[in-house]
Structure 1
C-alpha cells in the first residue's frame, strides 16, 4: 500500500489540492450567497456588477440598452433595442467557473507569486469574456430568438469554458511546475 501511495503521489497530491481548494472556495462562495434573501428576490453584489457591466457593453451597440431588477425572481433583466432579451442570475456571474479555474491552477502549482498573478490575470480574463458572452447572447437572442436553446445551452457555455480551457493549457505548459519538469 505504501508503494502505491509513493507511485501515485503526484496524482494524489493534485487531487487533494484541487478538491481542497475547490471545497474551501465553494464554501466561501455559498457563505457569501447566503447573505442575500432569495425570497425577497435579492441579487448578490457581484451579479449586479456583471449585469451593469454587461449593460454598458451592450449599450456600445445600442444606446437604448438598459437593465432592470426582476420583480418575480432574484435576477436582473437586460433589455436591448427596448426589448427584454435576457435575465442575469447568480449562475451567470462566472464566479463558480472562476472557482474551478483557481482550483485547477492551484493544483498544478508553480511559484507562489507566479501562481497568484496568473490566478488574478485568469479571473480578470474570465470576467471580461463572461461580460462579452452575456452581451453577445442577449444580442443574439434579440435577432435569433428561435435558437435560444442552442445559443444559451450549447454555444455560449462552450465560449466561456473554451476561454478557461485555453487559460489552463497556457498555465500547465508555460508556468506550472509540470512545465518546468518537461522542459
Structure 2
C-alpha cells in the first residue's frame, strides 16, 4: 500500500513538472547541479546543461559530453522502494521515521557519489561505458539499499522480535 501511494504521488509530481523553472523536474535538476558541484570540487572543470532533444541534463567535463542525468537518476524511485520495505517491517513510529530519514539521505548521497564517479569514469574510460553503467553502478546503489534493508530487519524490525 505504501509503495502504491508513494509511486502515485511521484507520478503526479512528474506530471506537474513542466520544466519551465527546473528542467526536466526539480529533483533531477538538483541532482545534476549537485553532481556538477561535486565534480568541480574534486578538480574537474564540469558543466551541466539542459539537453536539447530529451528531458535530461548533460554532464560535460572539460568540454566533453560524458553522461546525462535523466529522471531515473534522481534516486527518488529507489528511495520509494526503500521506504516501502522499511515501513512494511515497521516497529515504532520514531525509530521507523528516523531510519527512513537516515536511509533516504544515505541513498541520495550514495547516488550522487555514484553519478560523480560514473561521470569521471566515463570521461577517462569511455570504452567501459557498458560495464560501468549497467553493472557496477547499479550494483552500488541497489547493494546499498539491500544492506540498509538487512540492517533494518536484523536490528529494528518488529518481525524479528516477534520471532525471537
Q: Same fold (TM over 0.5)?
A: yes
Aligned partners of 1:42, 1:56: CA distance in 2, in Å? 17
Aligned partners of 1:54, 1:108: CA distance in 2, in Å? 33
Structure 2 stretches lacking a partner, 5+ long: none
Aligned partners of 2:160, 2:46: CA distance in 1, in Å? 45
Extract structure 1 runs of 4+ deviating beyond 3 A: none
1:48 matched residue in structure 2: 29
Structure whose CA Rg is larger: 1
Deviation at 1:113, TM superposition (A): 0.8
Aligned to 1:58, which of 28, 35, 39? 39
1:176 matched residue in structure 2: 157
1:108 matched residue in structure 2: 89
Aligned partners of 1:85, 1:113: CA distance in 2, in Å? 42
RMSD: 1.5
Contact in 2 for aligned 1:62/1:81 (Cα 8 Å): no
Contact in 1 for aligned 2:66/2:119 (Cα 8 Å): yes
Deviation at 1:80, TM superposition (A): 1.6
Structure 1 stretches lacking a partner, 5+ long: 1-19
Q: How many residues align?
A: 162
TM-score computed with the length of structure 1 as normaliser: 0.84
Secondary structure, in 3 states, of the residue corresponding to 2:55? coil
Contact in 1 for aligned 2:36/2:46 (Cα 8 Å): yes
Deviation at 1:110, TM superposition (A): 1.1
Deviation at 1:63, TM superposition (A): 4.2
Summarize deviations over 1:89-147 as a string: whole Å, max 9, x none: 10100100000000000011111110011001000000000000001001111111111
Deviation at 1:36, TM superposition (A): 2.4
Aligned partners of 1:72, 1:42: CA distance in 2, in Å? 12
Query: 2:129 aligned with 1:148, yes or no?
Result: yes
Deviation at 1:179, TM superposition (A): 3.0
Contact in 2 for aligned 1:66/1:80 (Cα 8 Å): yes
